[in-house]
Amino acid sequence: MDYGKYRYERDVKQKEARRKQSRTGLKEIKFRPKIDPHDYATKKGHVTRFLSAGNKVKITIMFRGREMAHTDLGRKILDRLVADLGELVIVESMPKQEGRNMIMVIGPNKRYLDEVAKQRARAEREEAKAAAPLESVPEPAPAAEEG
């Protein structure tokens, strides 16, 4: 085999390996200790969307002024978020205080996401089967109008 052909095949293999490689991004969501319930629900929805897309999420609780004396409120928010997301998340780094911020990194639970995708595909197939007989039935011809 000549060297040119060898290099070409090697490059093709490397290109294929890069294509199959998945990129995981890191998204960040910022919370405050006194977050409103509706704002919490909205941001929780964003976190769910990021995790479903396969990204890791860095959650930051920002403290200002006297809030630094009550860092336990920030910890409660992080614990509540992990509990609310349930099986969808894996905590990659536990909450830690860095200056005025408390930071935690969570990642998607790949097994859970795969299970959900399989269930969706199964449901879509069942819907397609149920709709198929309805589409194959011809519609009756319109009756002639008397006039």
What is the CATH number for 90? 3.30.110.10
- CA dist 88 and 85 (Å) reads 6
Q: Parallel, antiparallel, or unpaired for β 56-62 and 26-31? A: parallel
Domain residues for 31? 23-127
The reported pTM is: 0.66
Query: How many domains does the chain divide into?
Result: 1
- 71 domain-assigned: yes
**pLDDT, tens only, 36-80:** 999 999 999 999 999 988 889 999 999 999 998 989 999 999 999
| 65 in a structural domain | yes
Q: What is the pLDDT of residues 6-32, one digit of tens each?
A: 999 999 999 998 887 777 789 999 999
Give the whole-angstrom CA distance, residue 107 versus residue 53. 11
pLDDT digit string (tens) for 132-146? 766 655 666 676 666
* 97: in domain: yes
Q: CB burial class (10 A; 0-12, 13-18, 19+) of residue 60?
A: middle
In a domain, 138, yes or no: no
User: Looking at the domain assignment, is residue 63 inside a domain?
Assistant: yes
Retrieve residue 44's tokens.
Answer: 């929780």
User: Running DSSP on this structure, what letter comes out for residue 86?
Assistant: G
Domain assignment of residue 69, yes or no: yes
Would you say residue 77 lies in a domain?
Answer: yes
